[in-house]
Amino acid sequence: MHLNTIKLLLTFCLLLIGTTAMAAIVPAAPDIDATAYLVMDYNSGRILAEKDIDKRVEPASLTKMMTTYVVTNEILEGNIKMTDLVTISERAWRMEGSRMFVEVNKQVPVEDLLKGVIIQSGNDASVALAEHIAGTEEVFAEVMNQYAAKLGMTNTHFTNSTGLPDPNHYSTARDLSILGVAMIRDHPDIYTWHSQKEFMFNGIKQDNRNLLLWRDNSVDGIKTGHTETAGYCLVSSAVRDGMRLVTVIMGTPSMESRARGSASLLNFAFRFFETHKLYSPGDVITSTPVWKGETNMLNLGVTRELWVTVPRGQYKQLKPVTEITPTIIAPVSKNTEYGKVKLMLDEQELASAPLVALDAVNEGSILTRIKDEVKLLLQ
């Protein structure tokens, strides 16, 4: 082979190696001036950058995410209707802070009040809805805490529906990301309201305080928050090329800093990571022997979608590893767990899920059971 040809081939190989190496590079996450923050993939749940995500923080108006979640559940369960008229109490009318300017003793539809909470962050609307559902805001806060426990928000406690400061009113960046994911997953129709840039009520037009809605078309929510003690906070979500991210940023010094910080986290995660769905419920991941049954093989799969987030360019390096119960004896019930599947990148486990029986297997005939018993004894 000609010497120049050899040199060209070597150069080409080196370029391929270099390209592969570059694809695996993930730099450090942006340095955000915030008390706590995180960016996570919505589908896989993998946290891609974080700081003090379990530190107790004041959630300010991010509290209204839970207010919205509870109200929407009440609507879906048929306990209240969008068209219900809510009489505005003097307490709701007198609420300080951000308001949608409802008038005392006037009747306002639930739908308008809910939009006032989501788009305008109205404290008056939050209290009016809380009183309509639970009688008092204090009882409504107890309902909020029950929902928080159900969602797995283990470091959160609410005392009001608005987020006004209280020593016993707190959350964490991790818990708020759990709530953000639940809002998108459980209430997709109402979630679309979080992308509305403005809302007109009582002759007054107010803008959504989430600056990212004007700057990034991929952003479709979720909620801003601010008090003097909490600083400026933002839970955001965006979708690019089918990949959804959720960010939480707490305790920044200004509206601009929370917007820029959230944008930096989104851009970092979208640039350097990719997310794929590996398995759906019902997919046969592997098969394993089953003894003393009417069939001798058992198909195993998962009960939920299994997603994985990897550094860009590393998807093909991902390896599924299965761990299966050594001896499975019929009868077998559908969805019984018989091991797990792990998704490994080099030595790192990125995701895992239980492996379950995809079908039931009844006991085999007497002859089949005797034969398999002998084989098991010989083993």
Which is the catalytic residue, given 64, 115, 223, 292?
64
DSSP state of 291: B
pLDDT per residue as tens, the chain (379 positions): 444 443 444 444 444 444 444 446 889 999 999 999 999 999 999 999 999 999 999 999 999 999 999 999 999 999 999 999 999 999 999 999 999 999 999 999 999 999 999 999 999 999 999 999 999 999 999 999 999 999 999 999 999 999 999 999 999 999 999 999 999 999 999 999 999 999 999 888 989 999 999 999 999 999 999 999 999 999 999 999 999 999 999 999 999 999 999 999 999 999 999 999 999 999 999 999 999 999 999 999 999 999 999 999 999 999 999 999 999 999 999 999 999 999 999 999 999 999 999 999 999 899 988 887 888 888 8
Q: Is 61 annotated as catalytic?
A: yes
Q: Is 334 annotated as catalytic?
A: no
Domains and CATH numbers, the chain: 36-272 (3.40.710.10), 280-378 (2.60.410.10)
Helix (H, G, I), strand (E, B) or coil at 326: coil
What pLDDT is attached to residue 23? 46
Separation CA 112–CA 119 (nearest Å): 10
Separation CA 322–CA 352 (nearest Å): 10
Write the burial class of residue 23 (CB in 10 Å: 0-12 exposed, 13-18 middle, 19+ buried): middle
Which is the catalytic residue, given 98, 121, 126, 257?
121
Separation CA 190–CA 69 (nearest Å): 9
Q: Is 121 annotated as catalytic?
A: yes
Which tokens is 35 given? Answer: 């008390």
Decide if 234 contacts 176 (C-beta within 8 A). Answer: no
Q: CA 212 → CA 26, 219, 337, distances in Å?
A: 25, 7, 44
DSSP state of 299: E
Q: Which residues contact 335 (CB under 8 A, 6 or more apart)?
A: 303, 356, 357
Which is the catalytic residue, given 44, 61, 89, 177?
61
